[in-house]
Amino acid sequence: MNWKHACRWAVASSVVATVASSVFALPATAAPLPGPQPTVAPEMLAAMQRDLGLTADQALARLERDRRGATLEQALAPKLGDTFAGAWLAPGADRLTVATTDPARTGQIRSAGAEARVVGHSYRQLDQTRRRLDGLGYAAPKSVPGWHVDVVTNTVTVLTHPNARDAARTFVKSAGVDTAAVRFVDSDLSPRPLYDVRGGDQYGINNSSLCSVGFSVNGGFVTAGHCGRVGSSTVGSNGVAQGTFQVSSFPGNDYAFVATNSQWTPKGVVNRYDGTTVGVAGSQEAAIGAAVCRSGRTTGWKCGTILGKNESVTYPEGTITGMTRTNACAEPGDSGGSWLAGQQAQGVTSGGSGNCSQGGTIWFYPLGVILARTGKTLITEGGGGEPPVGCEGIAAWSATTGYVPGDVVGHASHKWESTFYSTGAEPGDPRSWAVWKDAGAC
């Protein structure tokens, strides 16, 4: 395949309650949560003002709200345990909403500084339903573009093409799930993969296709799995031999690791395509409703809002699970590129629908999962590795990330290895004995 036919554009359709970007201000009485204030590059503020319609002060206020929300979600989710039902930043709200199945827990949630909502299904229950559907992903009809846990509506949302709900219901019924927790949403989107992409800087694969660098890690960079198979060679945007795909997982997942040669030095920055870069400070996962910006070789630097997490999306090649949905636009050639919330790395472009003229829906594959499964360490600005959030640079455990056997995380000063599929099962909790194996202190 020659360069002009580089990439097909992977798109998936998700019509969950769309979270519109809203103008708001944090109340003067809001008590700040512990942790550093967000360090924001001027370029990031300019892009948020341009794409989200915010003033500079509103953009700063939103980033602070987003930081507070992420910190609070990570603190409350393990404390609520099996009663935790998700968290999100509602449009225009100044604080995080946290859902629980136990009315007795609402006081605990409010005391922590969040809005409380009582719902019928826990996140664990909804995620079990999603995983049952994932198990039948190979049999999903073409009229079902994807499915995901929607914490705002407390359902598993199944997308279906108009006039094709019977096929969607048959698919759900065949999975043997609790249909009371399932919501069907009409969608006319049709997913297709992005093969002509990049996260920050452009790179070429086997002299036939283009993709984008996601983030620098020790020994190379991470990107989208659909960009190349293990053994595929890469060249940089300057045509110089760059490296080789050593890890690639697609479909099912959509991530890859490219080992670079001695001519290339990984740097902890993202290209903005205007002659400047944004430094990467870490990889704290942002909450639903947070602002996010992405970089890609075709459309450059664009911003939007995180609308959903841990979503399953069906491409012609198969179903991809664990994805994060946004309304930031992208086009063919942007696949594999970088996603940032402030200066916190979030993931790599997988696929989507629409374009940057009319808007669209784009998914990225979460960086935390990529680091856990590849064992790589994110390179931050200044050339060093990310300060250990877990242990020894290992990705920290997150209550909202889906883990599979073999994943490694850091939590409570210990290294843990996953022995089963899980979401929300805290390492070290007596109830999680069958899910995590303690690999020792670190």
Helices 56-80 & 42-52 angle (0-180, nearest 10): 90
Q: Is 188 a catalytic residue?
A: no
Q: How far apart are CA 157 and CA 146, in angstroms?
A: 9
Q: Is 254 a catalytic residue?
A: yes
Q: How far apart are the first and last CA of the chain?
A: 48
Closest CA to 245 of 256, 237, 254, 236: 256
Q: How far apart are CA 199 and CA 256, in angstroms?
A: 12
Q: Which residues of 81-114 are buried (b: 16+ CB within 10 A; e: fewer)?
A: bebbbbbbbbeeebbbbbbbbeeebbebbeebbb
Residue of 150, 254, 334, 407 with catalytic role: 254
Residue of 226, 338, 407, 418 with catalytic role: 226
Q: Is 148 a catalytic residue?
A: no
Q: How far apart are CA 116 and CA 95, in angstroms?
A: 11
CB of 264 closer than 8 Å to CB of 243: yes
Rounded to 5 degrees, φ, ψ at 331 are -140, 170
The secondary structure of 22-56 as a DSSP string is: ------TTPPPPSSPPPP--HHHHHHHHHHH---H
Residue of 14, 335, 338, 398 with catalytic role: 335
Question: Alpha helix (H) ranges present in 277-376?
Answer: 367-374
CB of 239 closer than 8 Å to CB of 377: no
For 76, the 3-state DSSP assignment is helix
Active site residues: 226, 254, 335
